[in-house]
Amino acid sequence: MLFHVTAQHSWETCVGRMRAEGATIGTEGDKWVEGNNDVKVIGAGGYQSGHRYYALVEADDYNSVVLLFNELMWRGDVEILPVNDMIARRKDAGDWGK
């Protein structure tokens, strides 16, 4: 299954701001970009001035995605939405190229 993930944090919880101010922050909060054995990250992007991350991931179940993004849930809202692969749908229907 494909999932679209949006993770939003605020300036108060922004790790980039904390590092700029001299705080020692680990890198585990961004480890989600690498995926894991249960979740493949297909694409990941950041909108830094809006304190927002986006990702398209593939996993067998919702809970695996929740576990991957658990660290970000402590910084702000994380929305995980199941999405259909519209390219595959069109190809499967025999409509590709028509």
Instruction: Enter the pTM of the model.
Output: 0.85
3-class DSSP state of 90? helix
Own/partner long-range contacts of 23-29 (Cβ < 8 Å, ≥24 apart): 28/71, 29/71, 29/72, 29/75
User: Starting at the edge strand that comes first in sequence, how are the strands of the sheet with 78-83 ordered?
Assistant: 39-47, 52-59, 2-8, 78-83
Tens digit of each residue's pLDDT, the chain (98 residues): 999 999 999 888 888 888 889 888 777 778 999 999 999 999 999 998 899 999 999 999 999 999 999 999 999 999 999 999 999 999 999 999 98
Q: According to the model, what pLDDT value does residue 90 have? A: 94
Architecture of domain 2-92: 2-Layer Sandwich (3.30)
Contact 36, 58 (CB under 8 A): no
Domain range list for the chain: 2-92
Contact 14, 74 (CB under 8 A): no
